[in-house]
């Protein structure tokens, strides 16, 4: 749980960059491919992450309305990325303007439960990491490169001239 707005904003900036790195590697040819009937496509996961910014942000009182609630997946990843970047920045700005570090223990209704605002900020981070992990597995199956986010990926180890871990 976050106890400082500044700590969240620093982490959010990094996590936003990680998410964009993943989105940028999704190609037009692979974005809508499904590797299994029960697994979302890369574009669907990217759009889910984007829509969650406004959906959870609205439920938390950071936004007046959920502007992406009924918006279909854009036709290009460039549009998804632009929409993600814009709403990610709006979310960070709303947190900074509407909440204070001392209010992060305040409870808000979320999904039939009561969450501390600081817990919601943590869930924003963890939710993205969770789905990025799913996306990297799908990317591997589809033959796309995978970036190292919290450490080098197999490709990055090889680029450094080091053996990749099995």
The reply to whether 36 sits in an annotated binding site is no
User: Model-level pTM?
Assistant: 0.94
Quote the distance between the C-alpha of residue 154 and its chain's center: 22
Dump the DSSP string for 123-166: HHHHHHHHHHHHHHHHHHHTT-----SSS--HHHHHHTT-PPP-
35 three-state secondary structure: coil
Percent of residues, the chain, with pLDDT higher than 70: 100
Q: Which CATH superfamily is domain 5-159 in?
A: dinb family like domain (1.20.120.450)
Per-residue model confidence (pLDDT) at position 133: 96
Please give the pLDDT value at position 117.
Answer: 98
User: Which residues are paired to 13 by β-bridges?
Assistant: none
Q: Is 130 annotated as a binding residue?
A: no
60 touches 52 (CB < 8 A): no
Number of H helices, E strands in the chain: 5, 2
Find out whether 48 is annotated in a ligand binding site. Answer: yes
Provide the residue ranges of all domains of the chain, joining segments of one domain with +. 5-159
């Amino acid at each position: 749980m976050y106890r400082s707005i500044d700590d969240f904003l620093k982490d959010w900036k990094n996590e936003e960059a990680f998410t964009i790195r993943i989105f940028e590697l999704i190609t037009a040819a692979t974005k809508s491919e499904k590797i299994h009937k029960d697994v979302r496509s890369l574009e669907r996961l990217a759009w889910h992450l984007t829509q969650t910014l406004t959906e959870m942000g609205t439920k938390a009182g950071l936004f007046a309305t959920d502007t992406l609630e009924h918006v279909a997946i854009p036709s290009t990843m460039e549009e998804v990325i632009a929409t993600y970047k814009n709403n990610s920045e709006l979310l960070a700005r709303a947190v900074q303007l509407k909440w204070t570090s001392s209010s992060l223990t305040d409870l808000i209704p979320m999904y039939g439960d009561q969450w501390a605002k600081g817990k919601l900020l943590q869930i924003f981070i963890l939710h993205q990491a969770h789905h990025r992990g799913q996306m990297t597995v799908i990317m591997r199956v589809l033959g796309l490169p995978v970036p190292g986010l919290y450490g080098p990926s197999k490709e990055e180890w090889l680029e450094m001239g080091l053996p990749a871990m099995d």
